[in-house]
Chains A and B, each alone.
Chain A
Amino acid sequence: MLAGIERIDEVEWEVPIGYVPGMRVPGRFYLSGDLAGTLETEAVQQLANVAVLPGIVRYALAMPDIHSGYGFPIGGVAAFEQDTGIISPGGVGYDINCGVRLIATPLTPADITNPRALIEALFTTVPTGVGAESEMRISRHDLEEIMIEGVDWAVAAGYGTEQDTVHCEEGGKMPGADVVPVSKKARQRGMPQAGTLGSGNHFLEIQAVDAVFDDDAARTFGLHPGQVCFMVHCGSRGLGHQICTDHLRTLESATRRYGLEIPDRQLACAPVHSPEGEAYFGAMAAAANYAWVNRQVITHQVRTVLNRMYGIAHEEMPLVYDVAHNVAKMETHVVEKGRRTLCVHRKGATRAFGPGCPEVPQDYRSVGQPVIIPGSMGSASYVLRGTKTAMEKTFGSTCHGAGRVMSRTKAKNATAGSDVRKDLLKRGIVVRATSDASIAEEAPDAYKESDKVVDVVRRAGLSLPVVRLRPIGVIKG
């Protein structure tokens, strides 16, 4: 383990006050001994920087997929008091509400006799990669409705079912969304991109449930062995990127005006209930709603292809759940001072609310919120469930994915994309992308093993495995 870090228990570590000047609370992160070698000094420094921010409650936290980002580390979680604390785009990121959802089907792998044909049909239907535009034409008024209503807009427009809204975090509609602080530039970028996958680590994957760890929870989530599912990973596209860029500039001057000391300019911030803080929150919530609509429209595209190819009705392909990875939200948590509404930032982390929480949909409430953990391309993904321990230790948060261990350039130099594609095909996984280079960047070796990351959150009690899903086909953004 890196110097200056103290062990709390088997998988929990502390970055003590004093690691960087001005820390108000310690940092805490979760990592197993065998993943310790993946930890970067820069990521720990970024975690310590978060602990400097005013109004932070208890700890600056990071999940086992911690790695270096900008502002917060990836895997970072921090909660701030409403009256003395701040809100910062550095704790959310450019891709606001980048997230992941899982759609179940009644199919088994044996039903997919020609996976390549299915992948091709999906690839030609879902706009993918840099510069791809949506075929959906929306008016300026529609865009405003999307930003305010979220998935409710999509369902009313014929892109989903009522049940889809129930199975999204926040019901697919962040309260407090405000279109006024969304710039004309952000709107211009958002208009042509609703229903597009994007690039980088975004993907659409066909998977099959290959292991069940918790029969009761799996049944509750509507999952069973051998079932084919679809996973969608994408975010708020150019609209969210522009909102982050715009508000970072505004919040920079606010940081100076309110006399806030920050260790990294990317952590520009303002008091939660200042005009600048509220403007950012409103615009960020609008982008979060746009991201949910984006994933909902892609879901509709997937269901339409499956309906055409296999004759199954849209209603037979329920949304299991949809989680946000990059977001700040007002949430009520029990802390030392009792029940408090806090501004919880999660950047590359997943909400993992435990059994009984009113925020968890009623049909899942007895077992806890589904947590969807995508694996790297070609490795297993997981559905976990939230726990009471997560509520007590991490403001109801857990990891969000495998976490990179190799730069994109190194990955591209290590193996040719075509070789990665062929290797995966030998393992029965069809990969389709706009270029082989983008396949190489996301090669399985570039990531921590998802099994190890999931094992850490299990051992820490932050979430518990329900099912594992193996990939059959991948559309890489």
Chain B
Amino acid sequence: MTTTVPSAQQLADVARLAQEVRAQLDTVLSGLDDAVDATLATVLAEGHLLLEDVPGVGKTTLARALGRALDASVGRIQFTPDLLPSDVTGVSVFRSDEHRFEFRPGPVFANIVVADEINRASPKTQAALLESMQERSVTVDGETRALPAPFLVIATQNPIDMEGTYPLPEAQRDRFMTRIAVGYPTSADEVAMLDAHDGHDPLADVHPVATAADLERAIATVRGIYGAPAVKQYLVDVVRATRATAELRLGASPRSSLQLLAAAKARAAMHGRDHVLPDDVKALAVPVLAHRVIPSAQARGANRTAEAVIEDVIAQVAVPAARSPEPLARG
């Protein structure tokens, strides 16, 4: 995969795409700016998104609105305890007239897959989806089929202590680039929501503003965003600090460093910048890191969430000043 330094035009395209998608999402969900931003960054960074919160705050609406705003194929899977892996990936059926098996693609064969209540399915089914997220392909009956690009999974789940759930193991949570807690809307936003839903489905108002090809180009642009040594150093400082703090039993993995940088690049591009700022890293550190770390017993005892711990860690890591490296002496 080659990356090129994005041109101003390409950057403007990304920024405009982000702006338009955001505008579409805003017609459905008001007051979720941070969640929408993180969502868009995840989309542009080719990550997968885990929306986690109590039922009824708009997780699924957000996922569906995103699918509509991007004029891309959308697959939707409602996870239930009896869902089978083949219900996700698809099955081969015997065509008696042609005397051969024919593959019926499952809902995972789409640009955007909305996996509702992923923690309600059995681990086996969960694993089928998560493997396809990682491999970006599906192997059925010994035949590997590539998933379409771009490929984005937006999973929603209820908090893990709810009844009838199979919590995602850490290793599988790690496959999601970001986890976003949607949160309750503010009073004013909730009133606005009541108005918007009065008599019609607001999702019907969401128009596609970008094609899959547009999204593919934007993703390519994001890959070319420049991450300066000072920013990478800062990012690594933050990630390492999560491993050092006594409030976390498990710190963030090196994979999370990669994902954090990718997400930060996407955010930079969304702001029309061709380089990452530490502000991008800061803005995405909680969504990218919080679901990968495990608070220590001590932090849990103090009722400290992983989000709060990571925010503290960020507040303690100094933003390094950079001397531009001296050019090596010539001759």
Partners in one complex: no
B contact residues vs A (CB 8 Å cutoff): none
